[in-house]
Amino acid sequence: MNIPVVDLEQFIKGNREEKVQFSAVLGRAFEEVGFVSVKNHGIPQDLIDDLYDTVRLFFSLPEADKRSYEIAGLAGQRGYTSFGKEHAKGSDAPDLKEFFQFGQTVLPGEEAPEFYPPNVTVSSPSNFNALFLDAYRAFETSGAALLSAISMYLDLGDSYFTEHVHLGNSILRAIHYPPILQEPRSAIRAEQHEDINLITLLVGASADGLEILSKDGNWLPVKAGPGEIVVNVGDMLQRLTNDRLKSTTHRVVNPPREMWNHSRFSIPFFLHPRSNMSLACLPSCITTLRPKQYEDYTAGFYLDERLREIGLKK
């Protein structure tokens, strides 16, 4: 599917008129499709390449080494989560994946807005934690710019999300879909789902497989062009905007059977706000034609609920 392509540099470096134009294109795309492809996103290509190289090395470690980074009681929010632990909401078939999650780092001199568990220190590859921190900061910067444009589109000014996402509860996740060695219980690597967070930034998956569900009920393959990242709306933003912006259903399908012996790697950045942010529907998004759809939740309460629904929290 040819999803809309936007140039983030137009917003970051443009004049007021160009910023407004960018936000209009982005907002309409998120209303109508829920996904965009972003070029000139500001995340250096050499950083992306190093990140994927390091992720491949990590997931090639012996199983016992990887499991040493799996920390009980963190609901998968930091460190390693072994194969088959997570499932889509409403499905009891586990996704065919293992993953590692890296969260917010509060540096000396900064005041933590809430408690964040420390990131798990990986000893091999030796550059793992430093590289993930660099990538995390780059994604935060790009994501904040996109949220600023969304804020403008919603007539909230350009800084509505700033205080909510500064030192927010975002997650950088490295996913490995291993070779498929036997007929899987589920027919696909990741069952259809919607993301929990505000927006997701997905950089350069190593193989095809991502599909989105169109408005007419058809599954359409999606892949960003060279140097682009795919960005989609999550459930928190859909909830905040009372369904005005769409959290599009998506999945990761298995490759053709002759390619079952190949791994797939993917690195999404789930941009979350601080846990105390209210997700109460914006008054401007409530109309007689679109009455209020959701209870007043905080982001933290909603995240906790969803982690239980997908099997990561008991």
Quote the mean pLDDT of the chain.
90
User: Parallel, antiparallel, or unpaired for β 98-102 and 264-271?
Assistant: unpaired
Residue 187 in this model has a pLDDT that exceeds 70: no
pLDDT range class, residue 193, cuts 50, 70, 90? confident
The CB density around residue 231, as the number of other CB atoms within 10 Å, is: 29
pLDDT at res. 149: 98
pTM of the predicted model, to two decimals? 0.92
Tokens representing residue 45 in the block? 């290509």
pLDDT at res. 233: 95
**Directed axis angle between helix 45-59 and helix 128-153, to 10°?**
130
pLDDT at res. 222: 84
pLDDT range class, residue 33, cuts 50, 70, 90? confident
pLDDT range class, residue 162, cuts 50, 70, 90? very high
Q: Tell me the H-state helices in the chain.
A: 8-13, 16-32, 45-59, 63-67, 128-153, 162-165, 235-240, 299-309
pLDDT at res. 1: 56
Say what percent of the chain tops pLDDT 70: 93
pLDDT range class, residue 273, cuts 50, 70, 90? very high
Residue 211: closest CA among 185, 229, 235, 193 = 193
pLDDT at res. 42: 94
Residue 44 in this model has a pLDDT that exceeds 90: yes
How far is Cα 232 from Cα 65, in angstroms, rounded to an integer?
Answer: 33
CA–chain centroid gap for 21, Å, is 25
Domain edges within the chain: 5-309
- Is 272 in contact with 45 (CB distance < 8 Å)? no
C-alpha torsion angle, residues 90, 91, 94, 96 (rounded to 10): -100
User: Parallel, antiparallel, or unpaired for β 264-271 and 171-177?
Assistant: antiparallel
Tokens representing residue 79 in the block? 């460190």
Encode burial over 138-176: b for 16+ CB neighbours within 10 A, e otherwise: bbbebbbbbbbbbbbbbeeebebbeebbebbbbbbbbbb
Measured in residues, the chain has a length of 314
Once rounded to an integer, what is the mean pLDDT over residues 287-296? Answer: 95
**Does the domain made of 5-309 have the CATH classification 3.90.550.10?**
no
* Weakest-pLDDT range from 44-53, 82-91, 132-141, 268-277: 82-91
Token pair 């999650």 in the structure block, residue: 101
pLDDT at res. 185: 63
Once rounded to an integer, what is the mean pLDDT over residues 240-250? Answer: 93
Residue 308 in this model has a pLDDT that exceeds 60: yes
pLDDT at res. 132: 98
Name the amino acid, one letter, at 196.
I
Q: Which residue has the higher pLDDT, 170 or 183?
A: 170
Once rounded to an integer, what is the mean pLDDT over residues 278-288? Answer: 96
pLDDT at res. 47: 96
pLDDT at res. 302: 93
pLDDT tens per residue, range 216-234: 888 888 877 888 999 999 9
- Is 36 in contact with 4 (CB distance < 8 Å)? yes
pLDDT at res. 224: 78
Residue 97: closest CA among 88, 106, 105, 89 = 88
pLDDT at res. 93: 67
